[in-house]
Amino acid sequence: MSSLQVCGSCGATLGLLEPAMECGCGGLLDLRHDPPAEDGRSLRRLFAARMASAAPCDRSGVWRYRELVLPGVEHDVVSHPEGNTPLLQREGVSRWTGLDHLLLKHEGHNPTGSFKDRGMTVGVTQARRLAVTALACASTGNTSASLAAYGAQAALPVLVVVPAGKVAFGKLGQSLAYGARTVMVRGDFDACLRLVREASARLGVYLLNSVNPFRIQGQKTIMFELLEQLGWEAPDWVVVPAGNLGNTAAFGMALVEAHRLGLTDRVPRLAAVQAEGASPFAAGFAEGFARRRKVAAETVATAIRIGDPASWDRAVRSIRDTDGVVTAVTDAEILEAKAVVDGSGAGCEPASAAAVAGARQLRQRGVMARDDRVVAVLTGHILKDPEVLLEYHRETDPPRPRQNPPVEIEPTLADLERVLHIV
Ligand code: F0G
C-alpha cells in the first residue's frame, strides 16, 4: 500500500517523506492512501478485533485505524496511547437542546485533555520518520499542550508560540510543565501562526499546526471511533466547534471515506459552530463561500479565538461533501451551554460548549428535527480553563443562569447549618 501528499488546490503530488508544509502554489497538502485491500465488513471486523489486543498500536484509538491513517506504519509510533474516548448520554443536556437523541463524544478524555492528541501522535511519529531536529506550533493553547507532551515523549525540542494573555491557564501550565520553550507573542493567534509558518520555512523546524496533513489524518479517527461506537450506523448530524477548521476538514474527509469504503451506508451532515466574535467561516457559508473572509477575532472561548482560519478550503469541501451547515453562537450562549454540560457531570471547556449551543440553536431554527440523532463533539476538558469557570460562578447581580457561587463561613456548626438551610 502506498500514500501520497496531494495539493488540495492544484492537485500536484509529493512523496510521503517530503517535509513540505504546503504546495508551491500555496495550497495545503492532504494525504491520499491507496484504498485498503479489505472491504467494509472485513475492516469493521479488523478494527473490532484490535480492541481485544494488547499490542501498543492496537491500544490507541488512532492507530487502531492505521490502514486509514498512515498505512504501513505500526512500529515506532509516538503514542501515549490516545483516543478511546467515551460517547456520553446526558439527559439534562438533551433537554436543554430540545433534541431527544443527543450524544456527546468527549475528546477531553484524551491524555492531555483535548482532541489534539489524535493528530499529534501521527504528526510527531512522522516527524521522527523524517529525523527532524525540532518541532514547533502556534496555538490558542491545546495544540501547544499536546505538542509539548508528545515532543517530550519523542525527546525532541519543542517551540510553542502563543498569544500573550489569551491562553487559558490549564493549557499554558501544561506547555511549561512538559518542557516546551514557550513564547508569548504580543498579537493574536493569527499573527502567531503567520510567524511560526515563516519560522519553520526559514529555520527548518517541523511545523505541527493543523496545516500539517499528518495531523488531519489522526483527527479523522474521532469520526471512525464515533461511528464504530454507534455500530457503524451513521447519525443524522455531527456538530463540531470550529476555529482554525482542522477538525471540520478532518471530519468531512473521514465521513466521506467511511461511506466510500462501505463502513457506513450514508454520510451524516456536519454542523460547524463558531463563536460570533470569531465567525468568518459562518459568514462565508451565509454567502455560499463566495470568498475567503478574515475578521479580528474576540470571544470568551479562547481556543477558537481565530479570525483567519488556515484550513478554509479543506473545510469548505467538508461542508459541501456532507450537505453541512455553519453557524455562530454568542458568548452568553456558549457560557450557558457550558454550565449545562458541566452541571450534567460531563464538563467541558468553553469552545467545546459552542457545539452544544449550536445544536440547540439549529434545533430552534428547525434545521434539526427533535428526533434527529445528533452527536456533539466536546473537544476539551473542563479543567483546561479554570478562570472562565470560576468567573462564571462568582456571585453577580442579576445571577447568571445555573450560577453556583461558593459560600464562605466560620468553622461553626451553626454557620454550616445556616448554609444547608439555604440549600
Ligand atoms: N475546541 C478546542 C478545545 C480547541 O482547542 C480548538 C482549536 C477547537 C475547538 C477548534 O478546532 O481549529 O480544528 O477548528 N485549538 C487550536 C489550538 C487552534 O491551538 O489549540 P479547529
% of the chain exceeding 90 in pLDDT: 95
Separation of CA 279 and ligand 1 centre (Å): 14
Residue 245 has pLDDT above 70, yes or no: yes
Ligand 1 pocket residue status of 141, Cβ below 6 Å:
yes
Separation of CA 305 and ligand 1 centre (Å): 9
% of the chain exceeding 70 in pLDDT: 99
In tens, the pLDDT along 345-371 reads: 999 999 999 999 999 999 999 999 999
Given the CA of residue 244, which atom of ligand 1 is nearest to it?
12
In tens, the pLDDT along 103-157 reads: 999 999 999 999 999 999 999 999 999 999 999 999 999 999 999 999 999 999 9
Ligand 1 pocket residue status of 182, Cβ below 6 Å:
no
- What value does the mean pLDDT take over residues 358-387? 98
Given the CA of residue 243, which atom of ligand 1 is nearest to it?
14
- What value does the mean pLDDT take over residues 385-403? 93
Mutation choice for ligand 1 from 348, 356, 379, 382, CB with most ligand atoms inside 8 A: 379
Separation of CA 303 and ligand 1 centre (Å): 5
Ligand 1 pocket residue status of 69, Cβ below 6 Å:
no
- Confidence band, pLDDT 50/70/90 cuts, at residue 19: confident
Ligand 1 pocket residue status of 107, Cβ below 6 Å:
no
pTM confidence score: 0.97
Mutation choice for ligand 1 from 106, 114, 253, 304, CB with most ligand atoms inside 8 A: 304
Residue 204 has pLDDT above 90, yes or no: no
Separation of CA 247 and ligand 1 centre (Å): 8
pLDDT at 254: 98
Residues β-bridged to residue 207: 136
Measuring from atom 6 of ligand 1, which residue has the nearest CA?
303
